[in-house]
Chain A
Amino acid sequence: MADLTDAPAIDPANWTCPAPLRDQGVVVMGHGGGGALSAELIDQVFAPAYGNPTLAGLADSAVLELGGARLAFSTDSYVVRPLFFPGGCLGDLAVNGTVNDLAMSGARPAYLSTAFVLEEGVELTVVDRVARALGAAARAADVTVATGDTKVVESGHGDGVYVTTAGVGLVPDGVDIRPQRARPGDAVLVSGPIGLHGVAVMSVREGLEFGVEIASDTAPLAGLVTAMLAVTKDVHVLRDPTRGGLGASLNEIARASGTGVRITERAVPVPDEVANACGFLGLDPLYVANEGRLVAFVPREHADAVLAAMRAHPQGAGAALIGECVAEHPGMVTVATGLGGTRVLDLPLGEQLPRIC
């Protein structure tokens, strides 16, 4: 990692990838899509502005030495439309998203903060429902909401309710989980069927509505991680494939570690409803968001035991071995197709768009 503090000031005429900046110059929805545009925003704006070695890890959560303890620390903002969707709501996401980011460092989440941004005119019953869901999700994840804040913006300046949460947790001794630790030979595991959250939310999004009997997978994953670490502390990488889906997470890991990743398409658990919804919208399930899944890179010799431990846990019942980490094509993810061909699974640009073509 280069020294971020030396990064030159932003020169809009000289981005390494000139066309988008020259063309965009403003924030577009894709900057929040968890793909290449998001990464670019971090690289070009936030990292140079904050530059320090702690931030340089850019994992789901930062691991900090403080008073002799190792703390995992993470924050995330939650904006979802609609606020309520099959299987959950904004309140569930605001807890599970942040505790999962902590768990992806191997931490046991302990405390959360919440900050609500409320839009003038939103019904209090809506705020109440979100808050209650948040409280229930915190109890289920065994974390305490320790502090909070509320702000109100004028009508028309927000989507009803936005929530930001931050969380801290303790990382057990001997645990070092971060994307840079992926090694050729690692087995790549996923904790269950993918794409459920993204499809559930899309199914109730205005203008796109479709009927499907699936629910978001939103769930806290710290318990599952504990069960995995009970098998071996030498878990190399954990990532929860939220925005950008499995495809974005695997690309981030490949790039961070300088390794290649190969997955087998038929080994990836994709529910029929997810596959079929993606089919008629022209989306790729590998890029659809999850909120209660993790992808793990573990040394090959521990793979069977870790997989068994995952399957024995309720959050990992559908866990599967989907591929391996390789020395070839560093920084890239390839997929062995069902027919025996290969395709490249690239980092998505921004959010996926329904296609006609």
Chain B
Amino acid sequence: MKYIDEFNDPALARRLLDEIRATVTRPWALMEVCGGQTHSIIRHGIDQLLPEEVELIHGPGCPVCVTPLDVIDKALAVAARPDVIFCSFGDMLRVPGTDRDLFRVKGEGGDVRVVYSPLDALELARKHPEKQVVFFAIGFETTAPANAMAVHQARRLGLDNFSLLVSHVRVPPAVEAIMTAPGCRVQGFLAAGHVCSVMGTAEYPELAERFRVPMVVTGFEPLDILEGIRRAVHQLERGEHRVENAYPRAVREEGNPAALRMIEDVFEVTDRNWRGIGPIPASGWRLAEAYRAYDAEHRFDVTGIRTEEPAVCRAGEVLQGLIKPTECEAFGTACTPRTPLGATMVSSEGACAAYYLYRRMEGGPAPRGSRVPRKEMNPVG
């Protein structure tokens, strides 16, 4: 596939790695903000190929992971209603609320459907006028234009049986929260390429200047990630802290103006609680006044939910890069991708999941999971 295969070339990857090795003279800690980049790093084994001076800290950029517990619980409550078809992106179904997940709600008779696009949910609303169709509108800036279009169309078409349960988050306030957290070790950022495809890069120079960190807009294929790292290290070694675009084929400085207009029309900035991190001022979007009628939180009475995060979980500190997953008490025992106590473990590309697997590979203690059930009954033997 064009634009993918060329950016997976092993020979060019070696050149980039050689260049990084030739440039780096001391340890640097970079954060890749985006979960998609973490996924790519793990999938291709990029972290093992880097010189040991370059440490990658996995950032909080997975919208699935950071969706707050109370919103998950609201989703579970709405999805369980007999009059509702609840639509979600696939990877939200395994995210645990206080005591269950969307799979469980589905197992108990809730009409929970995985959709590829928010417009698929809109189509279901059109097909099922007798039902309330609710779309779980999570995401970073990348997903906002899609979710905004769905509700915009619903209003235009008068599809009053459609609504959004919104939990949108924005990258720049999270960067600010990470950099102002006590004990922050991050010295440079790989900014999320697809967020910038939509938003452009205007929000970043101020952050780079204020925190004196290089911010390199980075893509997702292996060569893109290595180029992001190369440029960030290059800046750090020279004592620079600029915004650079290492993903120019998909990112323009001005972003996507049509998408920005739609976001402006549909959403307004709000404070948002990030699972595992806590409240970050002005870090989210909610539906603007004109679209409030399409807000599932207003349409359905889902107040009075009591939420409780398992106490042992230190996902928040992992997400902020303060501790490595191996430093978490629950790591490799109770908190596995299968038994996610905290948000980072849920997504297969979450920081904990990645470390968990590597530690196993390096011969660490076997996790206490039912894959090695009691009496050592092996699942297949």
Contact = CB atoms under 8 A, between A and B. Distances in A.
Interface of A: 1-2, 4, 6-8, 15-20, 23-30, 36, 39-40, 42-44, 47, 56-59, 179-180, 207-208, 252-253, 255-257, 272, 275-276, 279, 281-282, 329, 332, 334, 337-344, 346-347, 349, 353-357
Contacts of B300: none
A16 B361 CA distance: 21
Contact of A23 (B8, B46, B100, B106): B100
Nearest to B89: A356
Interface stretch (B244-252, B279-287, B321-329, B333-341): B333-341
A338 B10 contact: yes
A255 B48 contact: no
Given A26-B108, A40-B379, 12 more contacts: A2-B376, A24-B103, A24-B104, A39-B371, A42-B379, A43-B370, A44-B373, A180-B381, A207-B115, A341-B45, A356-B89, A357-B91
A40 B373 contact: yes
Contacts of A252: 379-380
A355 B101 CA distance: 16
10 nearest CB pairs, A to B? A341-B45, A353-B90, A39-B379, A17-B370, A19-B339, A256-B381, A344-B357, A354-B90, A2-B375, A28-B103
9 contacts: A7-B375, A30-B103, A179-B380, A256-B381, A275-B1, A282-B90, A282-B91, A341-B48, A343-B44
Nearest to A58: B380
Interface string B96-119: 100111011011100001111000
Given A179-B381, A207-B113, A356-B143, A339 B222 contact: yes
B163 interface: no
Interface of B: 1, 4, 8, 10, 13, 35-36, 39, 42-49, 62-65, 89-91, 93-94, 96, 99-101, 103-104, 106-108, 113-116, 120, 138-139, 143, 222, 334, 336-341, 347, 349, 357-358, 360-361, 363, 368-381
A17 B47 CA distance: 30
Contacts of B49: 339-341
A29 B63 contact: no
B380 A40 contact: no
Contact of A29 (B35, B106, B138, B371): B106
A207 B10 contact: no
Contacts of B43: 337, 343
B361 A332 contact: yes
B35 A344 contact: no
B361 to A, nearest CB: 5
A354 B116 contact: yes
A168 B349 CA distance: 42
A347 B378 CA distance: 13
A282 B89 CA distance: 11
Contacts, number: 195
Contacts of B341: 19
Most B CB contacts (10 A, CB to CB) among A15, A17, A29 go to A17
B94 to A, nearest CB: 7
Contacts of B101: 23
Contacts of B369: 16-17
Contacts of B93: 353
A8 B120 CA distance: 47
B11 to A, nearest CB: 10
A343 B63 contact: no
Contacts of A16: 368-370, 372-374
B360 A17 contact: no
A25 B369 CA distance: 17
Contacts of B64: 356-357
Contacts of B358: 344
Contact of B371 (A2, A47, A347, A353): A347
Contacts of A276: 1
Contacts of A275: 1
Contacts of A334: 361
A342 B48 contact: yes
A58 B10 contact: no
A250 to B, nearest CB: 11
A211 to B, nearest CB: 14
A356 to B, nearest CB: 4
A43 B90 contact: no
B1 A279 contact: yes
Contact of B361 (A7, A47, A57, A342): A342
A76 to B, nearest CB: 16
Given A18-B339, A338-B10, A344-B358, A23 B99 contact: yes
Contacts of A347: 371, 379
Contacts of A39: 371, 379-380
B370 A357 contact: no
B44 A337 contact: yes
Most A CB contacts (10 A, CB to CB) among B44, B45, B347, B380 go to B380
Nearest to B41: A341
B373 A255 contact: no
A188 B344 CA distance: 34
Contacts of B90: 282, 353-356
Nearest to B100: A23
Contacts of A281: 116
A355 B91 contact: yes
A356 B361 contact: no
A276 B101 CA distance: 30
A329 B361 contact: yes
A128 B99 CA distance: 45
Contacts of A257: 381
A24 B97 CA distance: 12
B381 A339 contact: no
Given A27-B107, A338-B44, A344-B360, A357 B36 contact: yes
Contact of A7 (B103, B357, B377, B381): B377
Contacts of A30: 103
B380 A332 contact: no
Contacts of A344: 357-358, 360-361
Contact of B89 (A1, A329, A341, A354): A354
A119 B381 CA distance: 36
Contacts of A346: 337, 357
Contacts of B375: 2, 6-7
